[in-house]
Amino acid sequence: MRSLIDILDFSVEEIEELLTVANDIIDNPQKYGEICKGKKLATLFFEPSTRTRLSFEAAMYELGGNVIGFSEANSSSASKGESVADTAKTISCYADIIAMRHPKEGAPFVAAQNATIPVINAGDGGHNHPTQTLADLLTIYREKGGFNNLTVGFCGDLKFGRTVHSLINALSRYSGIRVVLISPEELKLPSYVKKDVLLKNGIPYTQTTSLEDAIPELDILYMTRVQRERFFNEEDYLRLKDSYVLEPKKLTNAKKDLSIMHPLPRVNEISVSIDSDPRACYFKQVLNGKYVRMALILKLLKEAGRI
């Protein structure tokens, strides 16, 4: 059974196909309004994530399907001690496809091993969040017309930021990509990502602690939040949380066609005064996320022979 657990589960061609379908959904929504009629998406959210859950639910409703599920572990059988494997087997009897968010890394993989319907990883701890990466890719595709020959700056928490690791992984498969890593010393990109992804794929990269110095050369600036929940130590979080704040004056030397992205939610790392700048793309990312999830649900249901 085909599932999406890691963005690299899909080939470059499959991602291209997904983005093409997502673009067609944007242009011709009426074509897709009833395609999943009578089908059910189960949203199994073992930790709260309003944005991702509602994006999946909106995606399924706009395809004409229905949604069942839960939004936190307390309201599921997990609170009674049920294993992920048993939950996956049970839900396979009720639904056509699963979107799972779980605080433990690898839980959606375990679900996919045991379910008889497709499983989409909607985020597992600090590990993977492939549908966020698909939303990012669709946004870059729509803003830049493709992925080749781009200089992409990643700023903020590059150590724990799973969206950063995933997007770097996905972009490493295209040619002419350059990466600029902007972070405090303590939150630098882990060496294994540099070695296994950037060096292995011959992607040139530079590291800096200065956002101002890096900004003039960037085509894309991908900002991230320093996430409280990834720290064991509150003191470290408080010390690092305000490392980078993007304000209008920092964009003075930026390119006119820079795309500013952020996986959201933001705390204060992008000033609200940037929101009206035409280069701000983070709310477009949210919308693109819904469309690409629609394309993903369609692809997996088709491959499973359910539509």
Partner 1 sequence: MNIDSINNGFVIDHITAGRGMRLFDLLNLDELDCSVALIKNVGSKKLGKKDIIKIDADIDINFDVIGYVNPGITVNIIKNGEIIEKKQIEMPKQLVNVIKCKNPRCITSVEQELDHIFRLTDEENKIYRCLYCETQAGK
Least spacing, CB of residue 7 vs partner 1, in Å: 13
Q: Which amino acid, residue 42?
A: A
Q: How far apart are CA 208 and CA 181, in angstroms?
A: 6
C-alpha distance from residue 47 to each of 43, 75, 81 (Å): 11, 10, 15
* Angstrom distance (rounded) from CA 293 to CA 55: 8
Starting at the edge strand found earlier in the chain, the sheet holding 66-70 runs: 66-70, 40-45, 97-102, 119-124
Assess 158 for contact with partner 1 (CB under 8 A): no
By CB under 8 A, name the one of 76, 106, 206, 279 that touches partner 1.
Answer: 106
Distance CA 172, CA 212 (A): 25
**Amino acid identity, position 176:** G
Nearer to partner 1, 9 or 217 (CB): 9
- The yes or no reply on residue 9 touching partner 1 (CB under 8 A) is no
Applying CB under 8 A, which of residues 126, 284, 287, 306 lies at the interface with partner 1?
126
Interaction of residue 229 with partner 1, rule CB under 8 A: no
Q: Is 127 in the site for partner 1 (CB under 8 A)?
A: yes
Q: How far is the CB of 112 from partner 1 (least distance, A)?
A: 11
* Separation CA 24–CA 31 (nearest Å): 9
DSSP 231-295: -S-HHHHHHHTTS--B-GGGGTTS-TT-EEE--S--SSSB-GGGTTSTTB-HHHHHHHHHHHHHH
Minimal distance, residue 124 CB to partner 1, in Å: 8
Site string for partner 1, 166-195 (x = CB under 8 A): --------------------------x---
Segment contacting partner 1 (CB under 8 A): 10-18, 36-44, 99-107, 146-154?
A: 99-107
Contact set for partner 1, span 58-97 (CB under 8 A): 83-85
Q: Which residues are catalytic?
A: 51-52, 80, 101, 129
Interface mask (CB under 8 A) for partner 1, residues 191-210, using x and -? Answer: -x---x--------------
Question: Considering the complex, what minimum distance in angstroms separates the CB of residue 22 from partner 1?
Answer: 27
Could you list the residues that contact partner 1 (CB under 8 A)?
Answer: 83-85, 102-107, 109-110, 124-127, 192, 196
